[in-house]
Amino acid sequence: MDHYSRLGKKRVWVVDPLDGTREFVWAYPSSAFPSDWWRTGGRWLVESIIRPLKRSSLARLLPASVTYDGKPAHPSQRTSLDDALVLASRREVKRGEWKQFENAPFKIRAMDSVAYKLALVSAGLAEITFALKPKNEWDVAAGAALVQRAGNFVSTPDNTDLTANNRSPLLSGLLAGGPHLKAELFSVLEPHIQSAAAGTKK
C-alpha cells in the first residue's frame, strides 16, 4: 500500500513483484521481476530485471555499467528510424492501437512486460520502446534506469526527464531508445502524443 512518508526518505525501493503477471501464468518468457533503488532528488542507485522463465537478467550496481547475463551491454548506435526495431505492447497491438504506426519507418515487434522491453533497449537488442498511455512508476523505474545508465535516452511524452518517487506514481507515459534517435522519434510521434494527451483530458 502506498504511503506518502516515502516522499521524505533519502532512498526508496521501487519494486514490481512481477511485471506481466498474466504472461507469467501463461508461461510467456518475457515476464520479469523489476526492482530499483532510488535516491530521492538524485539518481538511481541499483537496478535489476530478472526473467524467471528464461533465467536471464540485466543489472547494474552503481557505479558499474549495465550487464546482460553478466556481460557488458551497449546501446544501439543506429542513427535513423529506418528499419529500427520498436518493441510494442502485445495487448495494445491486439487492440489495434498500433495501426496508426503501420506506415512509420520502423519495424514493430509485439511483446509483453514493459520492464523487459526497456531492458532490451538498454542492452542494444532493440532500438526503441514507447508507451503514450500512463504507466505506473513501479512498471518502468528499473527498466528506465537501465536504459539511461547504458547511454540511451528515456523521457516522458512531454520530453521531460523521467524520475521516480513522485507524489503521484502515475507517469504520463514514456519514450526510450538509442542515443541518436530521440529527435527523429519525437518528430514522428508528435501528432500521436498530442492526440493521446487530448484523449487523457476528456
- Which residues are within 8 A (CB) of 153 and not within 5 positions of it... i.e. 6 or more apart? 147, 175, 176, 177, 178, 179, 181, 182
pLDDT at 101: 95
pLDDT at 110: 94
pLDDT at 157: 95
**Domain ranges across the chain:** 13-201
Hunting for cell 522519434 — which residue is that? 185
pLDDT at 97: 94
pLDDT in tens, 34-61: 454 444 444 444 445 554 444 555 554 4
pLDDT at 28: 46
pLDDT less than 50: residues of the chain: 21, 23-34, 36-47, 51-54, 60-63
Angle at 109 between CA 77 and CA 36, to 5 degrees: 70
Domain at 13-201: CATH code: 3.40.190.80
What are the helix (H) ranges across the chain? 21-25, 90-94, 114-122, 137-149, 182-201
pLDDT in tens, 98-122: 999 999 999 999 988 888 888 889 8
